[in-house]
Structure 1
Amino acid sequence: MAGDAVIQGDLARAVIDPASYAEWDTLLDTFDHIRSEHGVVKVLPEDKGVFDPFWLVTSYDDVMRISKDNQTFLNHPRTVVFSLNEGIEFAKAMTGGSPHMVASLVTFDAPVHMKYRKLTQEWFMPKNLRSVEDEIRALAEKTVQKLVDSGPEVDFVPLVSAPYPLHVVMQIMGVPEEDEPRMLMLTQQMFGGQDDDLNQSGMKDMTPEQITQLVAGAVADFEKYFAGITAEKRANPTGDVASTIANATVDGEPLNDRDMMGYYIILAAAGHDTTSASTAGAMLALAKDPEQFARVKADRSLLPGIVEEAIRWTSPVQHFMRTAAQDTEIGGRQIRKGDWLMINYVAANHDPAQFDDPRRFDAARSPSRHLAFGAGAHQCLGLHLARLEMRILFEALLDRLDSIALAGDPQRSKSTFVGGLKTLPLRITPS
C-alpha cells in the first residue's frame, strides 16, 4: 500500500485552496506526489470543524470505478461539491435542511436521477442537435467576426470563449439574448470561486458565510428569472428546452418549484462555463504550437482530436464529491459507510498510468478515454453539445485566422470546482 493514509497542513490546503487551481503545473505536481506517495488518502483539517475529513481519489482507475458505481457511491445526502462546514450549515438553513443550495441532476441518486435526466436527455442527443447546427454555426461566425474586428491583439476569453457557449445554451433554452449578461453574471457568482476578477464582488475578502450568502443571492435571482420563463412557456410552449422543463411531469406530477428551478440553473450555468474553459484551453495549446495550428488548418479531420484533447487537458469540472453508501475499499484503503470522497478529475485526467506524458497536449492521443465528462449514469448530459459547438467554432476560427500567438501570460481562475483560463492574450493574423 502506498504511503501514509492521511495528509494535512500545506498538502491538504493545496487540495482545497481555490488559489492552488490557478497555478496549474504546481497543482499537477501536488497530485502526482499524492498519487505516487500516498495513493488514496484522507484529507484532514488542521482545525476541527472547518471542513469534514474526506478521502481524496487521484488515480484514473479509482475515479472511473467510483464514477460508474452509483449504488456504492452516492451524490446525496452530503454535498456533491467540496464546501466548508460554515457554508454547508448556511445552505441547510436556507433550504430547510438540504446541504445543496440547488437541487439538480448532479445531486439526485437513482431512481429519481434517471427520471429527471430523461426529461431532456433526448434534446441533447446528436440527432436532435443537428436541428440547431445551422444556428450554432451562425453564432460561431458572428463571434469570430467580432474577434477579427478587435485584433490584432485580443483577449480570447471575454471576446470568444466566454460569450459563445453562453449564446448557444441560452438559445437552446429559449432565453432572450438581452438577458444573457444577467445569466453570465449569476453564473460567475455561483462558480467564480474566490476569484475576484470573475465574480466582481469583493469575494476574496469575504468570510465563508458571506460567500455562501452571495451564492444564495445568485440562486434566488436565477429562480426569480426562471419563474417568469416558466409562466411564459406554460402559456405559450415552444420547441426549446425551457418549454420541456416548464411542462414536464415526473410520476404523473408537475415538477415542484425547487426541482424545476434546479433543472434550469444546472443547464443555464453548467452548460457554458465548462465549454468556455475547454475552448480557451484548445486555443492556448494551438497558440503555443504553430505547427499543430497549421496542420489542423490544412486538415480539418484533426479537429475532433483537438476538441477531445482540450477537454481532457483542461478538465473544467475539477472535482465532485461522493458519499459511501456502505463499507467498501478503494485503492487499498478501507472506506466506511458515510465517508465523504473527492473524485478529482484534474488528477485522474493527468494520471501517467492512463495517459502517456499527460501534460502534453496531443491531438492525436488515442485512445483518450478521459473523465472530464464523468462516467456512468451521471455522465455529462451536454457532452455532445459541447463537442459540437467547439468543433463548429474552431472551423470558423481556422477559416478566418492565418496564425495565432500568445501576446502575454494567460491566467487561470481561482476555483476548486469549475475552472479554466480567465485571460488568454493573443496576437491574431486574419486569413
Structure 2
Amino acid sequence: MSTATVDLTDPGLWARPDVGGIVADLRAQAPVHRTETALDGPVWSVLGYDLGSRVLTDATTFSSTGGSLLGTGGAPAGAGKMMALSDGPRHRELRAPVLPYFSPKGVRGAAQSITELAKRVVEDAVEQGEADLVDVLATVPLVVMCDLLGIPGDDRDLVVAVCDEAFLAQTPDARRAGHQKLLPYLFEKVVQRRKNPADDLISTLATHRIKGRRLPIEDVVLNLDNIVVGGVQTVRHTAAMSVHALMRRPGLWKALAEGADLDLATDELLRFTSVGLHVLRTATTQVELGGHIIEAGDKVAVWTWSADHDPAMFDRPDELLLDRSPNRHLALGVGAHYCVGAPLAKAELKAIYAALLDQVAVLEPVGDAVHNRSIINFGFDHLPVRLRAR
C-alpha cells in the first residue's frame, strides 16, 4: 500500500495484519500527515510521540470542545457539558465529583472485590473448557462499572449491548443510535437518584453542585454515558488484545507465571495494545506542527497506537518487553485529560491477568480471532480459546 493512499480513518486498515508496518512507514516519512477522510473532511494526523504528547498537553492551542473522536458526524452535542469535551476550569469542575470513585485510594478499597470477581469469571470459563475470551473478560469491567453506578443486575446485558453499538457500530448514525438507547435509561436513573440519592456514582453526579447550582440533568447523563461506555470498552479490549499477544508469545506467558512484575507488565500491555486508537483535538489558533501550518478550526488527530510504537521514544517499540521502564505511554492519555478511570482500569487488568495465570495452565486459540472494525477501540469481536486448568 502506498503511503499516499493510506486513510487512517478506514477501520479495515486496523484489522490488517501488516498495519504496524504501514503506520511505521507513514511515521518515518513524516510525523504529521494531512489525511482526507470520508466523514470528517481534512484532518491532520499526528503519528509521532513527541508531537502527539504536545498536542494532548496543550489545551489552550488544541481544544477538546470541538470533539474528542473522529467519525462522530458533526459538532458534538456535549461540548462544554462533558469532561471529555471541555477544557480548563470547566473540565476540572466536571472531573472533581468523579475522582474519588477512581482515585488510587478508592481503587485500593475495591481491590479485593475486583480480585474475587476476576477469579470467579475465569473459574467459570475454565469449567466451560472453551469460551469467547472477549465476552468472558468483558464481565469484569461491566460488573465493576455497574456496581459503581448502582445499575441492577437485570439491566447489565442492556448496558453491554448499547456500549458495543455506541463505540463499535460502523457508521456515525449507528453509533448515535447506541447512545440514544443508553441515554434514556441513564436519564431515568438520574431523575430517581435526585429524589432518592444512594451511595453510588449516579447519585453523586445527580446531586453535585457547582457554585451552588446542581448540574443540569443533561450534563449528568452525558457524562455518565461517556464513563460507562469508556470504562467497559477500554478494559474489555485491552484485556483481550493483551491475552492474544501473550498467547502468541508463550515465553512471556511463562515469565509472568513465574513472577514477572505485574505492574510493569500491565503498563507494557497497555502500551503495546493501545486500544484507544486516536484522540481528536481542534486548533484554536494558527500553529506550526511537524513542519505544517495548522489553521484555527483544523482538526488534529493524535494516533495513540502510532505514538506508542514510535522508535524515537521507545526502544524496540514493536517488541513486548514486560519489564519496560520507564514507560510513558499515551494509552490512557496524558495531561489534564489523562483517563480519570486509569487506576481502576489498571486494577481490573491486573486482576484479570492474575486470575488467568493462577488458574490456567494452557490457553490456546480454537478458531480465528476476529478483529472489530473501529477506529475508536482497536480490538476483537471474537477470540475463541480453550482454557486448561492449572
| Fold agreement, TM-score > 0.5 | yes
* TM-fit CA distance, 1:99: 5.3
Report deviation, 1:418.
Answer: 1.6
Given residue 293 of structure 1, which amino acid in structure 2 is its aligned partner?
W
Q: Tell me, in whole angstroms, the C-alpha distance in 2 between the residues paired with 1:256 and 1:129.
A: 28
After alignment, is 265-274 or 165-174 more displaced?
165-174
Q: Which residue of structure 2 lines up, in the alignment, with residue 132 of structure 1?
A: 110
Q: Does 1:119 align with 2:97?
A: yes
Change beyond 3 A, Cα 1:216–1:404 = closer
Query: 1:286: how far off?
Result: 2.1
Corresponding position of 2:348: 389
2:324 to 341, 346, 365: 365
Q: How big is each residue's C-alpha offset from its partner over 1:184-210, in whole Å with a ceiling of 9 and x where there is no partner?
A: 11111111132xxxxxxxxxxxxxxxx
Tell me if structure 2 keeps the 8 A contact 1:101–1:216.
no
Q: Please tell me whether residue 275 in structure 1 is matched to residue 275 in structure 2.
A: no
TM-score (norm 1): 0.85
- Structure 1 residues 349 and 72: alpha-carbon distance in aligned structure 2, compared to 1, 3 A threshold: same
Give the share of equivalent positions with the same residue, in percent.
28
Give the equivalent residue in structure 1 for 2:14: 21
Partner secondary structure for residue 44 of structure 2: strand
Give secondary structure in 2 for the equivalent of 1:167: helix
> Partners of 1:186 and 1:259 in 2: how far apart?
19
**1:18/1:193 contact within 8 Å kept:** no
User: Offset at 1:102?
Assistant: 10
Q: CA deviation at 1:141?
A: 1.7
Q: 1:177/1:309 Cα in 2 relative to 1: closer, same or farther (>3 Å)?
A: same
- Mapped to 1, the partners of 2:78 and 2:213 lie a distance apart of 23
Q: Flag as ranges the 4+ runs of structure 1 deviating above 6 A.
A: none
Matched letter for residue 385 of structure 1: L
- Evaluate the alpha carbon distance shift between residue 27 and residue 102 of structure 1 in structure 2; reply closer, same or farther with a 3 A threshold: farther
In structure 2, what is the equivalent of residue 157 of structure 1?
A: 134
- Alignment of 1:236 with 2:229, yes or no, is no
Residue type matched to 1:79 in 2? G
Q: Secondary structure at the match of 2:297?
A: coil
Whether the 8 Å contact between 1:126 and 1:384 is mirrored in structure 2 is: yes
Q: Match of 1:122, as an amino acid? A: P
Structure 2 match to 1:193: 169
Deviations 1:358-382 (A, max 9, x none): 2221111122110001100001000
Native 8 Å contact 2:168 2:175 kept in 1: no
User: Alignment RMSD, CA only?
Assistant: 2.0
Shift in alpha-carbon separation, 1:289–1:102, aligned structure 2, 3 A:
farther
Deviations 1:304-340 (A, max 9, x none): 1221111111111111111111121111222222221
1:347 corresponds in structure 2 to 306
Matches within 5 A, 1:307-322: 307-322=266-281
* Cα displacement (A) at 1:384: 0.2
Counterpart residue type for residue 62 of structure 1: L
Q: 1:67–1:246: structure 2 CA closer, same or farther, 3 Å change rule?
A: same
User: Are positions 1:337 and 2:296 aligned together?
Assistant: yes
In structure 2, distance between residues paired with 1:323 and 1:171: 35
- The residue number in structure 2 matching 1:247 is 207
Cα displacement (A) at 1:137: 2.1
Structure 1 residues 200-219: aligned runs within 5 Å: 211-219=171-179
Q: Provide, for residues 180-238 of structure 1, a one-character-per-residue CA deviation record: whole Å limited to 9, x for no partner.
A: 110111111111132xxxxxxxxxxxxxxxx4333333223222111221133223322
| Alignment match, 1:198 | none
Counterparts of 2:108 and 2:67 in 1: how far apart (Å)? 36
Matches of 1:368 and 1:357 in 2, distance apart? 12
Change beyond 3 A, Cα 1:131–1:236: farther
> More deviation in 396-405 or 364-373?
396-405
Residue 205 (structure 1) aligns with: none
TM-score, normalised with respect to structure 2: 0.94
Per-residue CA distance 1:14-58 (angstroms, 9 max, x = gap)? x111111222x422222211111133121135x8xx532111100
Contact 2:206 2:217 in 1 (8 A): no
Per-residue deviation at 1:356?
2.0
SS at match of 1:404: strand
Q: Indicate if the aligned counterparts of 1:290 and 1:404 stay in contact, CA closer than 8 A.
A: no
